[in-house]
A and B are shown apart, each in its own frame.
Chain A
């Protein structure tokens, strides 16, 4: 059974800092890995999708990497802003989408 772990569970940083969120998964037989953002009381928004054959994807200030063989992914956020405050969820697609429990990010002005 696929298991997805995210570390840390919560993170607080001052505005402007660069930061890294970590995700690990137990079964490397995946189709893709996805990062989502969830704002309080709202649904999930897809941020980045990395196919199993890819090493990284970038979107604006976000960069996600994938090391399938070691079962790890990182989400790098550059020059953090208060609007980045949210919970970030990592999910891997194998026979279904399996989610981690998320990292709650707070960016302090």
Chain B
């Protein structure tokens, strides 16, 4: 089984709908992240969480919210989806034990299309 899972893998929705993307991990990591990837723009950080009680905004948090339900679960919500939120969304985790060696482990991604 994959260490970092995302559901759903694909989603098509309409403008104005509320959408939740879910991420679960079995790596036992404290740190979790949400990114979006757009052609020509690379990966950009939306939100990150260093533990259950710690949530931080990333580079592009407007229009998104998150919930860290447990160490293993981190959800991303789009309260009212708009077409420019069409993108590939990735969840990632890291141990966070030492900054110089902290690598991130990525889920398979969720392809979201907002019509």
Query: Chain A residues in contact with chain B, CB under 8 A?
Result: 31-32, 34, 36, 41-46, 49, 51-53, 89, 91, 93, 96-97, 99-102
Contacts and interface: CB of A to CB of B under 8 A. Distances in A.
The prevalent SS among residues of A at the interface is strand
A99 B43 contact: yes
A52 B45 contact: no
Interface residues of B, number: 25
A32 B105 contact: no
Nearest to B48: A96
A93 B42 contact: no
Contacts, number: 56
> Of A42, A43, A45, which is in contact with the most chain B CB atoms at under 10 Å from its CB?
A43
B106 A43 contact: yes
Interface of B: 4, 33, 40-45, 48, 58-59, 90, 92, 99-109, 111
Contact of A49 (B40, B92, B101, B108): B101
B7 to A, nearest CB: 14
Nearest to A94: B99
